[in-house]
Structure 1
């Protein structure tokens, strides 16, 4: 089941950021649009049998596809071992199906789509119903607390640093996590995600000189074409090549200014996407909570696992 759902999550990761349907069309090669036959779409095995290359165009198939399939399968197995065949297992599996695509989308695009986070918040509250009204109450409190905590941190960061310190989608993701895991482990999740993200960010700074992505290359300057000997010169009142190129440059500048007004933030050398670290911490607390409580001394176990 984990392998099959992992294969579907690959579609979600590729299409949701592009605003495409996750149902139609059928799975296809992202380069040549070759539609995959059923035997080319078997999780992991097809990737191995095809030697990681498209059967149509021969270009490489990313290692990300089998990785996500295997990761989802292992997380499904871990959830079953942790919760057994209980209502909590269903909620845990749905949480995995949300955190995996959100993490990979955030890593690649630096966004946490509301198409996943908002329905996920509702799903967390609904799936707490079989566990009793007390769990429903804690789930609602967790969703509200998760949103408000990060909203407050975002507001404070903007006041102190005069710029966006946290992504707008991070508060939605923490609200989603709170809806599934309740308010009790939220402090542990914020602590673990911040600690692990900081350690990896510092390591990347030391190794690569930057934690964020490499800056985009500057666009090449467009030189207006010279008029060839013997070519017709523009008539009076008609724009020449230089004037046309200048007008096109102004049009591009206006479009770029409009885009900057909508979203003028770009990741800097010290920025890293926070969504994957929130997801990792949530999975650690959910799956390793009993083991951590057994090996950590009080009150550290309460800090890292939440109050029971």
Structure 2
């Protein structure tokens, strides 16, 4: 089942960011449009049998397809081993089906689509009903607290750094995680995601020299004005072309500089930021930490030292 659902998640990852239907048309080669026959769409096996190439155009098929199928299968197996055949297993499997595509979409496109996060929040609360009204209450509190915590961090970051400090979809993702895991392990999720992201960022800093985007290029120095011409003399003609066009008196060129508000509508800056080659979104770290808390929470509570084990007190 994990392999089959993993094959479907490949469709979700490819089509949701593009605004396409995840139902129609049938699976096809993204390059030549060849629609796959049923025997070309068997998880992992078809990729191996086709030698990772499209049977129509012969271009390579990304290794990401079998990777996501195998990853989903392993997570399904881990959930069954962790929860057995209980109502909690259903909630755990649905959480996997949400976190896997959200992570890969965020890695590639730097977005966390609300088409997945908002229905996921509702699903997290609804799937807590078979576990009792106490669990429903904790699930609702978890969704609200998860959203408000990151909303507050986003607001504070904008006030301090004068720019977006967290992705807008991160608060939706943490609300989704809170709806499934309740509010109790949210602190552990934030701790693990921040810690692991910081470790990887430090390693990238050592290897590549930076853990963020490349610095902006320095602005070009303004051209020095031409020397004044003594009275009674005329400027020689320049061979390369005509001189500057004279401007009426009292007018000056308007230069929009970064942060001065000129060239912007209603005082809002245009969001033209693009991630650098070494940037990593925060969404996948939240997803990884949520899966770790869900699947390894009791074990982490036992092996961690005394101050840290309290973070995982809510991981059941």
- Tell me which interval the TM-score lies in, with the shorter structure as reference length: 0.7 to 0.9
1:266 to 265, 269, 274: 274
Query: Are residues 11 and 261 of structure 1, via their aligned partners in 2, closer, same or farther at CA, if it must alter by over 3 Å?
Result: farther
Aligned twin of 2:305: 297
Aligned twin of 1:69: 69
Deviation at 1:306, TM superposition (A): 3.2
Aligned twin of 2:205: 205
Deviation at 1:145, TM superposition (A): 0.1
1:279 to 282, 287, 291: 287
TM-score between both structures, scaled by the size of structure 2 = 0.80
Report if the CA contact (8 A) 1:118-1:172 is conserved.
Answer: yes
Deviation at 1:143, TM superposition (A): 0.1
**Unaligned segments of structure 1, at least 5 residues:** 216-256
Aligned twin of 1:26: 26
Aligned twin of 1:115: 115
Aligned twin of 2:55: 55
Secondary structure at 1:168 match in 2: coil
Take 2:191 and 2:166, find their aligned partners in 1: how far apart are those partners? 15
Query: Are residues 184 and 66 of structure 1, via their aligned partners in 2, closer, same or farther at CA, if it must alter by over 3 Å?
Result: same
Take 2:269 and 2:36, find their aligned partners in 1: how far apart are those partners? 41
Deviation at 1:305, TM superposition (A): 5.0
Report if the CA contact (8 A) 1:140-1:182 is conserved.
Answer: yes
Take 2:160 and 2:13, find their aligned partners in 1: how far apart are those partners? 34
Report if the CA contact (8 A) 1:139-1:183 is conserved.
Answer: yes
Take 1:104 and 1:305, find their aligned partners in 2: how far apart are those partners? 29
Report if the CA contact (8 A) 1:193-1:281 is conserved.
Answer: yes
1:81-115 alpha-carbon deviations (Å, 9 max, x no partner): 00000000000000000000000000000000000
Report if the CA contact (8 A) 2:6-2:73 is conserved.
Answer: yes
Report if the CA contact (8 A) 2:297-2:315 is conserved.
Answer: no
1:236-288 alpha-carbon deviations (Å, 9 max, x no partner): xxxxxxxxxxxxxxxxxxxxx99x96633322467420000000000000000
Moved more, 7-16 or 205-214: 205-214
Secondary structure at 2:169 match in 1: helix
What are the residue-to-residue correspondences of 1:104-253 with 2, within 5 Å?
104-211=104-211
For the pair shown, which has the larger CA radius of gyration, 1 or 2?
Answer: 2
Take 1:75 and 1:270, find their aligned partners in 2: how far apart are those partners? 28
Report if the CA contact (8 A) 2:298-2:315 is conserved.
Answer: no
Aligned length: 267
Q: Which of the two has greater helix per residue? A: 1
Query: Are residues 155 and 268 of structure 1, via their aligned partners in 2, closer, same or farther at CA, if it must alter by over 3 Å?
Result: farther
Take 2:278 and 2:162, find their aligned partners in 1: how far apart are those partners? 16
TM-score between both structures, scaled by the size of structure 1 = 0.82
Q: Give the aligned CA root-mean-square deviation in angstroms.
A: 2.0
Take 1:191 and 1:93, find their aligned partners in 2: how far apart are those partners? 23
